[in-house]
Structure 1
Amino acid sequence: MMKKRIISIVVLLAFLTAGFIYLNKVFSSVHYYVNTTEDFKALAKKTNIDVIVYGSSHAYTAYNPLIINDVCETISYNLGSDGLKMPITDIVLEESLKYTKPKLIILEIYPPTLTPIKTDADKGYHLRAMDFVSNFSINKLKKTVRVFDKNEYFGVYFPLIRNHTSWNEQDFLNLSRRRYINSKENFYYGGFLGARNILKEEDKEKYKDFKNATKKFEPSRKFIDKQNKADIESFVSLAKNAGAKILVVSSPDPRATTEFNYSFFDELGEYCKSLNIDFLNLNEYYEEMDLKIEDFKDKSHLNTFGSIKATQLLAQYVKENYELPKRSDEDIWKQEMREYEYFEYDYYEFQKKSFRAAINAYLSKDVFVNDVSVIRNSKTELRFNINLDKDKTNLNTLNNYILGVHIYPDKEDISSLSNASKLKKNEYDQTNIRLKSQENSIVFNMETEIRRINKIELFLFDKDGYDGVIGDRIVINDITFKIQKDE
Structure 2
Amino acid sequence: MKQFAKNIVLFIVFTCIAYPILISISGYLLPQKLSPNINYRIGSYGHMYTRLNEAKNFKGELDVLFLGSSHSYRGFDTRNFNDLKTFNLGSSAQTPIQTNALLDRYLDKLNPKMIVYEVYPNTFTSDGVESSLDIIANDKNDLNSLEMAFEINHIKVYNTLIYGFFRDAFELNKSFSEPIKKGEDTYIPGGFVQRNITYFKHIDYPEKDEWKLNEEQIKVFESIVKRIKDKKIKLMLVYAPITSSYYKSHTNNAYFDKFITSHHAEYYNFNTMLTLNDSLHFYDSNHLNQNGVREFNKKLLELIDLNKK
In structure 2, the partner of 1:236 is 225
Aligned partners of 2:65 and 2:249: how far apart in 1?
29
In structure 2, the partner of 1:58 is 71
**What pairs with 1:348-387 in structure 2 (closer than 5 Å)?**
none
Query: Which has the higher relative contact order, 1 or 2, with Cα contacts under 8 A spaced 6 or more apart?
Result: 2
Partner of 1:96, secondary structure, is helix
> Structure 1 residues 152, 110: CA separation in 2 closer, same or farther (over 3 Å shift)?
closer
Structure with greater strand percent: 1
- Asked if 1:143 corresponds to 2:129, the answer is no
Partner of 1:206, secondary structure, is coil
- Asked if 1:206 corresponds to 2:198, the answer is no
After superposing the two structures, state which structure 1 stretch, 180-189 or 56-65, moved more: 180-189
**What pairs with 1:21-36 in structure 2 (closer than 5 Å)?**
29-31=42-44, 32-36=47-51
In structure 2, the partner of 1:127 is 133
Offset, 1:278: 1.1
Aligned partners of 1:158 and 1:82: how far apart in 2?
21
The residue identity in structure 1 corresponding to 2:161 is V
Conserved? CA contact 2:70–2:90, under 8 Å: yes
The one of 280, 293, 298 equivalent to 1:294 is 280
> Structure 1 residues 35, 135: CA separation in 2 closer, same or farther (over 3 Å shift)?
closer
Partner of 2:117, secondary structure, is strand
In structure 2, the partner of 1:271 is 259
**What pairs with 1:410-425 in structure 2 (closer than 5 Å)?**
none
In structure 2, the partner of 1:114 is 124
TM-score for the superposition, normalised by structure 1: 0.49
Identity percentage over the alignment? 20
The residue identity in structure 2 corresponding to 1:191 is G
For residues 138-185 of structure 1, what are the alpha-carbon distances to aligned partners after superposition, in whole Å with 9 as ceiling and x for unaligned? x432321221435752521543768xxxxxxxxx79713323315986
In structure 1, the partner of 2:36 is none
Aligned partners of 1:55 and 1:229: how far apart in 2?
14
RMSD: 3.5
The residue identity in structure 1 corresponding to 2:88 is N
**What pairs with 1:323-472 in structure 2 (closer than 5 Å)?**
323=309
Partner of 1:29, secondary structure, is coil
Q: Larger Cα Rg: Structure 1 or Structure 2?
A: 1
Aligned partners of 1:156 and 1:40: how far apart in 2?
21
Structure with greater helix percent: 2
Partner of 1:306, secondary structure, is helix
Offset, 1:253: 0.6
Offset, 1:93: 1.7
For residues 23-43 of structure 1, what are the alpha-carbon distances to aligned partners after superposition, in whole Å with 9 as ceiling and x for unaligned? 99xx8712410111112222x
- Asked if 1:91 corresponds to 2:101, the answer is yes
Conserved? CA contact 1:272–1:278, under 8 Å: no
Offset, 1:196: 2.3
Name stretches of at least 5 consecutive residues in structure 2 with no aligned partner.
1-23, 29-39
The one of 81, 84, 102 equivalent to 1:74 is 84
Partner of 2:110, secondary structure, is coil
Conserved? CA contact 2:240–2:269, under 8 Å: yes
- Asked if 1:189 corresponds to 2:189, the answer is yes
> Structure 1 residues 101, 185: CA separation in 2 closer, same or farther (over 3 Å shift)?
closer
The residue identity in structure 2 corresponding to 1:136 is D
In structure 1, the partner of 2:32 is none
In structure 1, the partner of 2:298 is 312
